Chains A and B, each alone.
Chain A
């Protein structure tokens, strides 16, 4: 605890970077997953291709992705953007399927009613299908958030600072205080992000809590 008392400013800075590196990709990945998931649902023939490639993306080791990212997108080697893009790829890998499944889970009679009333295109997606997919998508987003927070730690190896630095440094120099702080701070960050997603989903789905309150 002595260690934390004298280094809390550094820890805070690292935590902010960590949040940025894990959180921004979450938003970017979600935005990209919507059209992908929608396509997979709309044209069932594309479902397999989209879901399989997304699954394969997730199997690429994070270190490899961080290292090759500058070669693919032409960024500098120490650019945090490399990590943001790579993490976005992982997020899409997890969420494309979630969005597709969430959209597919909209009850058939609701889809029919929407069609019969002349709902189509974006208005249908944003007015009917996505709102109903929120519970499923939020569940996927929670998994992606925790996964992102943990994977981002690896970026220390390619020189991008975040809470992972505490783990690497604490391990190398055998500073227990630093090591434990790194672990706890990472876990705490994951919990905070998770709580934010749960709260956001709650605000977006008042109707799920109305169930059962029949009078």
Chain B
């Protein structure tokens, strides 16, 4: 557990970057610090490993005041990941990952073995081991950065906008894998971002900071979206917060209708409606076709409209509503956990389900883990 205890940082030029911050990052959870640029996120993070010393207040890790710990020793027990990965350009991928183990005095063989294990763990090909960082894509560099931070198995990870500099698709991937990794590792993580969507997706707990470095609100993501503490937070979490909050609402039993389908490569038969759902041989939906256009020939890949998203029956209301809204037929496709078709649902049916659900009511001062962050939105 990391506790910020009335922490203030004033730089020599008078700038107050962090103002009387009190906050607890629980063990094994992801605490996200989010806020506009310049609100003191990086400064707060760097005070944890004492790259910056607080002007007032204390940061306490598992009951120990960090101000009284040896600086280098403290840092070697804390993984740190930054925006451009900060990899050492003169070291190979494997040597980069092994940096902290070597600093801790591990021998070469053990370090290499551990580094290889981590390379695999963050989803990188073993063939990248002897490359230099400049030979990697941005996403790969970021993975190496995460592997390097994990190398000596530190209980704490500090992450400063680690996924901000990669393109949106890669970012999404990195986020998903990060959550999967955290599921296995249970690190105590403080994660900094300016992106509220990322904060909502990754945080077990989200702390919103305002410019001037004061804490505006700290809560679970669902609670934050439903109950912003003031105008600043409401504004910051954004206009779509009503829609976004649906991702924390598990779907109730929705009234699914059965859908007439055609298997890819077969003839549509007589046109029942303007849009016909196409599935593969395992009944996994692959897209929609307009039978009127296909006529009497078999349905080909090129006929498919792939715009619709798929909702999982055990997913969230956001997934269900999005499936209905994105479907060209307006019938949202619902699948089971193996990805096979169960049926379809209409937007107004999801909306009535939403109206039947209560908004989340939880005590803000007791931010235990909220509803599972399960985004059911695969591409159809």
Whether A112 contacts B82 in the complex (CB less than 8 A), given A118-B72, A128-B88, A207-B89, comes out as: yes
In the assembled complex, which residues on chain B have CB atoms less than 8 Å from the CB atom of A213?
135
Interface string of A57-87 (1 = CB under 8 A from B): 0000000000000000000000000000000
B24 in the interface, Cβ–Cβ < 8 Å? no
Docked Cα-Cα span, A211 to B103, in Å, equals: 27
B135 and A211 form a contact (CB under 8 A) = yes
Q: Which of B73, B78, B136 lies in contact with A214, CB distance below 8 A? A: B136
Chain B interface residue bracket vs A: 20 to 34
- State whether the Cβ of B10 lies closer than 8 Å to any Cβ in chain A: no
> For residue A110, which residues in chain B have a CB less than 8 angstroms away from its CB?
86-89
Q: Is the CB of A119 within 8 A of B83?
A: no
* Alpha-carbon distance A215/B136, docked complex (angstroms): 8
B338 within 8 A of A: no
Residue B131 interfacial (CB < 8 Å): yes
Mark each residue of chain B from 73 to 86: 1 if its CB lies under 8 Å from any CB of chain A, else 0.
Answer: 11110101011111
Name the CB-closest residue of A to B145.
A113
| Distance (whole angstroms) from the CB of B181 to the closest CB of chain A | 19
Tell me if A132 is interfacial: C-beta within 8 Å of chain B: yes
Q: Are A210 and B82 in contact (CB under 8 A)?
A: no
Contact of A117 with B75 in the complex, beta carbons under 8 Å: yes
Assess A118 versus B83: contact at CB under 8 Å? Given A113-B88, A210-B135: no
Name the interface residues of B272-314: CB closer than 8 Å to any CB of A.
none
Contact-size category for A? 20 to 34
Closest to A215 in B: B135
For residue B99, CB closer than 8 A to chain A, the reply is yes
Given A110-B89, A112-B51, A113-B86; A118-B71 close (CB under 8 Å): yes
Q: Given A109-B83, A113-B88, A120-B72 in contact, is the A212-B51 Cβ separation under 8 Å?
A: no
- Chain A residues whose C-beta falls within 8 Å of the C-beta of B76 in the assembled complex: 117-118
| Contacts of A134-190 to chain B: CB distance below 8 A | none
Contact A205 B82, beta carbon cutoff 8 Å: no
B103 and A119 form a contact (CB under 8 A): yes
Could you tell me if B90 and A117 are in contact, using CB atoms closer than 8 angstroms?
no
If A116-B75, A118-B75 touch, whether A214 touches B82 (CB-CB below 8 Å) is no
Question: A46 within 8 Å of B by Cβ?
Answer: no
- CB–CB B134/A211 < 8 A: yes
CA distance A215 to B74 in the complex (A): 37
Known: A107-B89, A116-B49, A128-B88. 8 other contacts (CB 8 A): A116-B80, A116-B158, A118-B71, A118-B103, A207-B91, A210-B132, A211-B135, A215-B135
25 pairs of residues in contact across A and B, judged by CB atoms under 8 Å: A107-B89, A109-B83, A110-B86, A110-B89, A112-B51, A112-B86, A113-B86, A113-B87, A116-B75, A116-B82, A117-B80, A118-B72, A118-B75, A118-B100, A119-B103, A120-B72, A132-B88, A132-B89, A205-B90, A207-B90, A210-B135, A211-B135, A214-B135, A214-B137, A215-B135
